[in-house]
């Protein structure tokens, strides 16, 4: 296990918590109806904040790098909603050649998530975006807690099990990089995972595949999550 500097990493990263997806009509700027029939919390975010996401280290860009629509996903590898969203988003990505997906690690659900995120940090440094995404999809397979062992197994499955991977996963820079992820997430009002940013709107929690597909389609058509 990756145990060196763990206490420091935990102190750095446990500054935010992620409750279950927030859904409240009075917290919704746009009436986005989730697949379960509820209005899901959302609010507009500035272009400056979106630019800060693009400048983050340890993000992975997949899909069409010049796509007309960009979906930012803040996720924790131990978030069950993120696991479900990942499968749906992958299907939407494969079906939409205009979609650009930006994965933003957001480990807020405990020490196992931090340990797994350290491995993911190393994977993202070493692998191509395509292989980093393959790791992302692989690590969500199966059941149970995702920790460093599960993450290393996923890395090994794409050919990255190595001394270098472990060395990078233990670097002090991980804490600095992840602190900035948390700062940006906090500024965006990401209070639950997955947190999605799409068409200048932060969507707090997972609305479901159908609702997300409709929002992506609206952004492609009129630039916002709901066309007039």
Domain boundaries, the chain: 46-193+213-220
Please tell me the predicted confidence (pLDDT) of residue 12: 47
Please tell me the predicted confidence (pLDDT) of residue 138: 94
Specify whether the CB–CB gap between 40 and 198 falls below 8 A: no
**Tens-digit pLDDT profile for the chain (228 aa)?**
443 444 444 444 544 443 444 434 447 899 999 999 999 999 999 999 999 999 999 999 999 999 999 999 999 999 999 999 999 999 999 999 999 999 999 999 999 999 999 999 999 999 999 999 999 999 998 788 999 999 999 999 988 878 899 999 999 999 999 999 999 999 999 988 999 999 999 999 999 999 999 999 999 999 999 888
Cis, peptide link before residue 138, omega less than 30° from 0 = no
pTM: 0.89
Please tell me the predicted confidence (pLDDT) of residue 60: 97
The separation between the first and the last C-alpha atoms of the chain, rounded to the nearest angstrom, is 52
Q: For residues 4 and 225, what is the distance between their CA atoms, to the nearest angstrom?
A: 44
CATH classification number, 46-193+213-220, choose in 3.30.420.10, 3.30.1010.10, 3.40.30.10, 3.40.228.10: 3.40.30.10
Name the nearest CA neighbour of 225 among 198, 206, 189.
198
Specify whether the CB–CB gap between 10 and 24 falls below 8 A: no
Question: Strand, coil or helix: what is 17?
Answer: coil
Q: For residues 211 and 201, what is the distance between their CA atoms, to the nearest angstrom?
A: 14
Please tell me the predicted confidence (pLDDT) of residue 4: 41
* Helices (runs of H) and strands (runs of E) counted in the chain: 9, 6
Please tell me the predicted confidence (pLDDT) of residue 154: 93
Specify whether the CB–CB gap between 1 and 115 falls below 8 A: yes
| Rg of the chain (C-alpha set) | 17
Please tell me the predicted confidence (pLDDT) of residue 14: 46
Q: For residues 103 and 74, what is the distance between their CA atoms, to the nearest angstrom?
A: 7
Please tell me the predicted confidence (pLDDT) of residue 11: 43
Please tell me the predicted confidence (pLDDT) of residue 142: 77
């Amino acid at each position: 296990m990756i145990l060196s500097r763990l206490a420091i990493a935990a102190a750095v990263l446990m500054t935010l918590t992620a409750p279950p997806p927030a859904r409240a009509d009075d917290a919704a700027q746009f009436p986005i109806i989730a697949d379960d029939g509820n209005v899901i919390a959302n609010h507009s975010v500035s272009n400056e904040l979106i630019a800060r996401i693009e400048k983050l280290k340890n993000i992975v860009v997949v899909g069409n790098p010049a796509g007309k629509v960009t979906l930012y996903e803040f996720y924790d590898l131990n978030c069950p909603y993120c696991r479900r969203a990942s499968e749906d988003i992958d299907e939407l990505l494969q079906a939409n050649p205009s979609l650009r997906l930006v994965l933003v690690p957001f480990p807020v659900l405990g020490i196992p998530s931090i340990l797994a995120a350290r491995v993911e940090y190393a994977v993202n440094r070493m692998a191509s975006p395509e292989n980093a995404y393959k790791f992302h999809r692989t690590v969500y397979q199966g059941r149970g807690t995702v920790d460093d062992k599960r993450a290393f197994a996923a890395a090994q499955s794409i050919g990255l099990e190595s001394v270098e991977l472990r060395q990078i996963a233990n670097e002090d820079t991980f804490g600095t990089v992840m602190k900035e992820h948390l700062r940006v997430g906090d500024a965006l009002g990401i209070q639950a995972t997955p947190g999605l940013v799409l068409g200048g709107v932060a969507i707090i929690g997972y609305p479901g595949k159908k609702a997300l597909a409709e929002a992506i389609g609206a952004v492609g058509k009129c630039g916002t999550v709901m066309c007039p």
